[in-house]
């Protein structure tokens, strides 16, 4: 039976478990925002959300704002620095900053003056323990200046939003991107910086031919890792999607075939499947234990991640919190009221913490805890072992779902 057919048999939508539980389970903050617990001495990471983009891609599910207005970018950085101050002053005793992550939107699209101010704000926080930060990048606008700016913040990993290599498939979703953009963006990286690529399966017009053409592009561009995401529905964009192009989606059978063709290419080019859509180059700079957090993959454990910016999530071992998702509301809290822009907060229960541990066992260590062993199909495990088999790596989400049932039924 083909991989596509097996995936179809076990099709099960739902949580992708990059954090747990989902924000829909968190409590809304009423009136006064609680002060958030500080990181422990184990150190912490910072995630900064930059929402701005030049144009909308009609598949995009991220929290974005189309704006190239310098003043708007500067105002946002001012709010970020106020938020950082409110949070930073509470860190006592000071704990090591392990890494900085920029997500978006398009961090490299931030106005140059705003980037400069942000660097002035963040530069002094960088210490001896800071390393291996990451940044989401739109390859159409990535320059050597951006790479140098990021280098000053010890950012060494860049996820290029590639999505597909076919310019017709891309322009149909309002993304005008050529192979030249990708090559130029790669050349802009400094020698010590490494490149990942976000690719999507399930875009309108993707087919066997277009997918099989990925082979030569991936061989030439040779990213160090690949994030291969299933296209998620974006209900608030449905009314405009067909106005920009033909947004007819492939059916479920075809979607899993697209996934299978992608995986065959990655494996033939020497990528190791980490599960949940992540593939790393064997013996490359990321071929090591990776920890999955809400804002990406980390080579360090980073038990506390401080989220700054609109919609950003903060996660500590015992709690989770999210900032306002509406930009004006976020700005109002900081610039007019000088208070934390907290929208939701959640204290984790013991069982939810058990779920966090399960993510680590399954995603980072590729093992199935004893508790689940009997409930997981045998072919997803190596014989006589708790290690997840090569086939099982494609079913980590299903294994997590079995884990969720097991933990909450107990
Ligand atoms: C912040 S963007 C990446 C950086 C930059 N804005 C760009 O597009 O090049 C983050 C990634 O989320 C993924 N993404 C966006 N919308 C999605 C959707 N509806 N379903 C699945 N993945 C999506 C894309 O692969 C995208 O590269
Ligand atoms: S995919 Fe990237 S560039 Fe396109 S709208 Fe989303 S965040 Fe912006």
Whether 354 is in the pocket of ligand 1, judged by its Cβ within 6 Å, is no
What is the rounded CA–CA span in Å between residue 175 and residue 161?
Answer: 11
Of 18, 51, 59, 60, best ligand 1 pocket probe by most atoms within 8 Å of the beta carbon: 60
Ligand 2 site residues (CB inside 6 A) read: 53, 56-57, 60, 62, 64, 104-106, 138, 161
Smallest CA separation from ligand 2 atom 4, residue: 57
Q: Is the model's pTM score more than 0.75? A: yes
Which ligand 2 atom is at minimum distance from the Cα of 53?
A: 8
pLDDT averaged over the chain? 94
Q: Do 318 and 37 contact (CB within 8 A), yes or no?
A: yes
Quickly name the fold that domain 35-347 has: pyruvate-formate lyase- activating enzyme (3.80.30)
Ligand 2 geometric centre to CA of 64 (Å) = 7
Hey, whose CA ends up nearest to atom 6 of ligand 2?
60
Q: What is the pLDDT of residues 155-210, one digit of tens each?
A: 999 999 999 999 999 999 999 999 999 999 999 999 999 999 999 999 999 999 99
User: What confidence category does residue 88 fall into, taking pLDDT thresholds of 50, 70 and 90?
Assistant: confident
Task: Provide the residue ranges of all domains of the chain, joining segments of one domain with +.
Answer: 35-347, 350-409
Please enumerate in sequence order all residues whose Cβ is within 8 A of that of 115, keeping only pairs 6 or more positions apart, or say none. Answer: 146, 149
pLDDT for 252 beyond 70: yes
Residue nearest to atom 2 of ligand 2 (CA): 105
Checking if the pLDDT of 329 tops 80, the result is: yes
Question: Range with the lowest mean pLDDT among 92-96, 267-271, 285-289, 376-380?
Answer: 92-96
Please give the sequence-ordered ranges of beta strands (E in DSSP) within 202-250, or none if there are none. 225-230
The average pLDDT across 115-140 equals 94
Count of other CB atoms within 10 angstroms of residue 36: 19
Residue 62 has pLDDT above 80, yes or no: yes
pLDDT in the model for residue 92? 56
């Amino acid at each position: 039976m083909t991989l596509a057919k097996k995936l179809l048999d076990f099709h099960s939508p739902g949580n992708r478990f990059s954090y747990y539980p989902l924000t829909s389970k968190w409590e809304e903050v009423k009136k006064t925002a609680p002060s958030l617990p500080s990181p422990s001495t184990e150190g912490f990471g910072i995630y900064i959300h930059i929402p701005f983009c030049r144009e909308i891609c009609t598949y995009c599910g991220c929290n974005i704002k189309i704006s190239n207005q310098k003043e708007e970018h500067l105002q946002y950085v001012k709010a970020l620095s106020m938020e950082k101050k409110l949070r930073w002053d509470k860190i006592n005793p000071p704990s090591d900053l392990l890494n900085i992550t920029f997500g978006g939107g398009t961090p490299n699209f931030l106005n140059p003056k705003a980037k400069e101010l942000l660097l002035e704000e963040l530069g002094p926080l960088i210490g001896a323990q800071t390393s291996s930060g990451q940044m989401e990048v739109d390859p159409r606008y990535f320059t050597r200046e951006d790479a140098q700016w990021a280098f000053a913040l010890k950012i060494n990993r860049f996820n290029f939003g590639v999505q597909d290599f076919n310019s017709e498939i891309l322009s149909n979703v309002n993304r005008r991107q050529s192979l030249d953009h990708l090559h130029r963006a790669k050349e802009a990286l400094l020698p010590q910086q490494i490149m990942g690529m976000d690719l999507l399966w399930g875009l309108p017009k993707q087919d066997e031919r277009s997918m099989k053409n990925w082979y030569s592009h991936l061989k030439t561009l040779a990213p160090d890792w690949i994030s291969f995401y299933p296209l998620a529905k974006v209900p608030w964009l449905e009314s405009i999607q067909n106005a920009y192009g033909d947004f007819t989606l492939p059916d479920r059978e075809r979607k899993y075939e697209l996934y299978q063709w992608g995986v065959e290419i990655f494996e033939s080019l020497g990528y190791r499947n980490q599960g949940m859509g992540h593939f790393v180059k064997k013996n490359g700079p990321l071929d090591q234990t990776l920890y999955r957090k809400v804002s990406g993959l980390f080579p360090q454990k980073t038990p506390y991640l401080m989220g700054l910016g609109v919609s950003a999530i903060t996660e500590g071992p015992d709690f989770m919190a999210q900032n306002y998702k509406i930009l004006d509301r976020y700005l109002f809290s900081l610039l007019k009221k000088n208070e934390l822009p907290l929208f939701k907060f959640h204290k984790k229960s013991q069982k939810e913490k058990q779920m966090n541990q399960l993510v680590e066992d399954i995603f980072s260590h590729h093992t199935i805890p004893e508790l689940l062993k009997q409930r997981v199909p045998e072919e997803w495990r190596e014989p006589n072992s708790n290690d997840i088999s090569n086939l099982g790596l494609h079913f980590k989400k299903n294994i997590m779902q079995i884990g969720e049932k097991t933990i909450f039924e107990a």
